[in-house]
A and B are shown apart, each in its own frame.
Chain A
Amino acid sequence: MQPSDLLASVNPFDAYRSGPYFCELTRDRDDGGAAARVRSRIAAIGLDALRARAAAAENDLINLGITFTIYSDSTAIDRILPFDCIPRILTAAEWRQIEAGVKQRVTALNAFLHDIYHARHITNDGVVPADLVYGNANYRPEMEQFPVRFGTYVHICGTDIVRDEHGRFLVLEDNARTPSGVSYVVENRHLMSRAFPDILAGMRLHPVDDYGRRLLSAMCEIAPEGVDDPQVVLLSPGIYNSAYFEHVFLAREMGVPLVEGADLVVERDRVWMRTTSGLKPVHTIYRRIGDDFLDPTVFRPDSMLGVPGLIGAWRRGNVTLANAVGTGVADDKAIYAYMPRIIKYYLGEDAILPNVQTNICREKEGLAYTLANLDKLVVKPVGESGGYGITIGPRASAADIEIARVALVADPSNWVSQPVISLSVAPTLTEAGIQPRHLDLRPFAVTGRETWVLPGGLSRVAMKEGSLVVNSSQGGGSKDTWVLMDDETAPAGGLAGDMI
């Protein structure tokens, strides 16, 4: 035997140590042996072949333009979301909890939004402080007393979930504005089936390719009443937006036009799109631009991305916006702390997916506790996304902690803090072989009349050793996320390869 043969025959999982963390692929679970099969298939492929095939798969992503754009120092760089070929597995039982928990949360978020924009029971009852809601920059007085169909404000929701060292699922945050990432859920499965059919073969998984059809159905349901065959469009900031690929993906999966602000025009309080045969009516807009940019006559006057008069047309009920205006108040990191109580208040239930314990620095005790424990806590700005401005106490330098302290004292209400969660890990292909890397999960829920949750979600992986930051803008990658079918409910003879 040559030395290289000896190396090739070593099982790359033999040296794998997940440490004190919950491991998503090596911990014993009720998965019908799926994880063990994946491990042995990967071992059979061997590290070298795995690397070569992973590189080829990533090259496919570049060729296909499945990229996002990073802007820094006025240059634009197209990057792929690094793809890790070792899948993350959710068992049928785990998924039942997540699915029910996400539905519960979305229901509560919508009930909360309806309440604060109408009767204001929850603040009158003192469950959530009034100034936290009505003084919030994302609260929109324009929404007061405004009816939305089925009481749905958050039509598309992304719920960020992590797992602690015991494997307990915890919600880290809600994304109720314009959550992104769902395109990678679907594209990762496509990529997996093209590049690693031998890992997927025979696995009984929930398919992920129904998202576009479900989304379109919801968008049609929420169209203004009385419209039989609604015209849905996806409103994008355009080709220079970092998430443009996802906008393309969603428009294609729904089979609707991807429009930019300048393609739309408001006349007689109705929204029209400019086509080769003149103006055609538009009924539902899945908008991927923020509230502030929607209508320069109402919000930011310098916005070039929006449509003058859009809010007027919408207030007259001639067009539906998804998500509704003003949902940002519900996914604010300050409101997040109250979510378990909000769920209890509206649904009379305990949260199926618990929160991470959160200290609100606008409250005296919260601030004092945070300042006293800066070295142990994660400090996050309220209302930021993309992982910016976060200080992870146990890993920060003394200087960074001082910077955080100054920022906190200067504007306490802009901050919350949480204990460091020992995020779960999953085996990930790295230069140094198969290594544990931290990851989270963002399932996507679509709500029209009812809520549907795409099986699985986006598993974002911190590709750097020990890192807890999984955001794509900060070098995070992703994994194909499998939801195993229940043996009782799975259709007979279904092979993963057929269902993708």
Chain B
Amino acid sequence: MTRDTPLLARYAESLFWMARYLERIENLARLVDVTQTFESPGREAESWLAMIRINADEEGFTKTGLEVTAENVKRFYLLDRANPTGIPMSLENARTNARTLRPLISTEMWMQLNVFHRDMLAIREDELQGDRLSRLCSRIKEGVQAHTGITEGTFFRDQGWDFYTLGRLIERADQTTRLLDIRYHLLVPGGTEEKLLAELTQWGGVLRAAAGYHAFRRVAPPGFTPADVVNFLLRDGAFPRSVALCVEQMEMHLGQLRSRYGLRGTVAALERVEELRAGLLGRPIEKIIGDGLHDFLDGVQRDLILLAAEIGTAFFRDWRPLAEVPEPISSQSQMM
């Protein structure tokens, strides 16, 4: 006989955020990798400035007092332990959440994360140089992917799994919009055949960063254009990092929380998901691009923030008034 066990609100929140932080780490590694690919000799700083922009980190970076150079931006994301949007602090936050979750997650999940955390703290400056950077990015991606695989194979499938997956999907959808945002300025209509080819090369880089290059080739129409790439990353129904597929899965997990576990707080979140889907699929891609992709992506990001807030309000936020947080030895900021 088994028992029906309720899930502590604090555990649900930690699962959601652990997944988000890890997904963010994987995507940061992808972004760094693709940014390096786009470096044009003599104008490296421009590419790296774009990375700061799409992460909305202008203010944070300015605070470091450093000049925007390839070196400084790489350090900002890969080494700077004080940068709340960088990999070291994201990993610290993921591990702190995992530590909270140790009674719940599998020993294997904890151990992998613990070891991954230690490896990442040991990254040295020279690993950010030249061809070593790409290898470092692979290692970071693989660290998160190992986590994902171990979780898939060992984590108990009760409502905790749904909260974990929701965190991952929201972050993944958000990150895909950021990846798209890197190249949105390439979508100015018109231009020569050479210009189109150059653009497609760059979009190929974006697709590779999202691990979608070959899948896109299989489903793309002959004579595809940049708009087809955007459509694929935003709206493909089978590509795991497409925003639309993420949204569809969010709906499934929210629905499961309601139907299987009777959590009624899902209503507002489900409405948000419905709005997101309508916004994504309601118009032809040409119209979205024509009206301005950058603004569109901003809108999707805002909707995702609102969705996370709905989930938080319904299931997490009431569990602990902020004033009561004990022993702020390493304070953890779980905010967008």
Question: A residues near B, CB below 8 A?
Answer: 63-65, 76, 229, 237-240, 244-245, 248, 251-252, 257-263, 273-277, 280, 304-305
Contacts and interface: CB of A to CB of B under 8 A. Distances in A.
B99 A274 contact: no
B263 A276 contact: yes
B9 A274 contact: yes
A192 to B, nearest CB: 17
Nearest to A305: B326
A-B pairs, 6 with minimum CB distance: A275-B6, A304-B326, A258-B103, A251-B103, A248-B102, A262-B320
B111 A63 contact: yes
Contacts of B257: 276
* Interface of B (DSSP majority class): helix
B12 A276 contact: yes
Nearest to B97: A239
Contacts of A273: 6, 8
B114 A276 contact: no
Nearest to A233: B8
29 contacts: A63-B115, A64-B111, A65-B110, A65-B111, A76-B329, A238-B326, A239-B100, A240-B326, A244-B99, A245-B102, A251-B103, A257-B8, A257-B103, A258-B103, A260-B10, A260-B326, A261-B326, A262-B10, A262-B319, A262-B326, A263-B8, A274-B8, A274-B318, A275-B7, A276-B7, A276-B257, A276-B265, A277-B262, A280-B6
B176 interface: no
**Most chain B beta-carbon neighbours within 10 Å: one of A63, A76, A274, A304:** A274
B59 interface: no
Nearest to B328: A240
A63 B95 CA distance: 13
Nearest to B95: A65
A196 B257 CA distance: 45
Contacts of A305: 326
A277 B318 CA distance: 12
B327 interface: yes
B208 to A, nearest CB: 33
Interface string B317-333: 01110001011010000
Contacts of B11: 257
A230 to B, nearest CB: 11
A276 B326 contact: no
B36 interface: no
B6 A277 contact: yes
A262 B6 contact: no
A188 B96 CA distance: 25
Nearest to A250: B103
A265 to B, nearest CB: 9
B27 interface: no
Interface of B: 3, 5-12, 96, 99-100, 102-103, 107, 110-111, 114-115, 159, 163, 257, 261-263, 265, 315, 318-320, 324, 326-327, 329
B159 A276 contact: yes
A79 to B, nearest CB: 14
A279 B159 CA distance: 16
A233 to B, nearest CB: 9
A243 B324 CA distance: 21
Contacts of A239: 96, 99-100
B201 to A, nearest CB: 43
Contacts of A237: 326
Contacts of B100: 239
Contacts of A240: 326-327, 329
A87 B178 CA distance: 57
Given A65-B99, A76-B329, A304-B326, 17 more contacts: A63-B114, A65-B110, A65-B114, A238-B327, A251-B103, A252-B102, A252-B103, A257-B5, A257-B8, A258-B102, A260-B326, A261-B326, A262-B326, A263-B320, A274-B318, A276-B159, A305-B326
Nearest to B9: A274
Given A239-B100, A259-B8, A276 B315 contact: yes
B326 to A, nearest CB: 4
A274 B316 CA distance: 9
Nearest to B107: A64
Contacts of A65: 99, 102, 110-111, 114
Nearest to A74: B329
A482 to B, nearest CB: 24
Nearest to A247: B103
Contacts of A260: 10, 326
Contacts of B96: 239
Given A76-B329, A248-B103, A276 B9 contact: yes
A263 B103 contact: no
A267 to B, nearest CB: 14
A275 B261 CA distance: 12
B262 to A, nearest CB: 7
Nearest to A236: B103
Contacts of A238: 326-327
A277 B263 contact: yes
Nearest to A234: B103
**Most chain A beta-carbon neighbours within 10 Å: one of B110, B115, B261, B329:** B329
Contacts of B261: 276-277
Contacts of A244: 99
A464 to B, nearest CB: 28
B328 to A, nearest CB: 9
B10 A274 contact: yes
Contacts of B8: 257, 259, 263, 273-276
Nearest to A304: B326
B324 A262 contact: yes
Contacts of B324: 262, 304
A276 B6 contact: yes
**Most chain B beta-carbon neighbours within 10 Å: one of A252, A273, A277:** A277
Contacts of B6: 273, 275-277, 280
A263 B324 CA distance: 11
Nearest to B163: A276
B163 to A, nearest CB: 8
**Most chain A beta-carbon neighbours within 10 Å: one of B103, B257, B315:** B103
B29 to A, nearest CB: 23
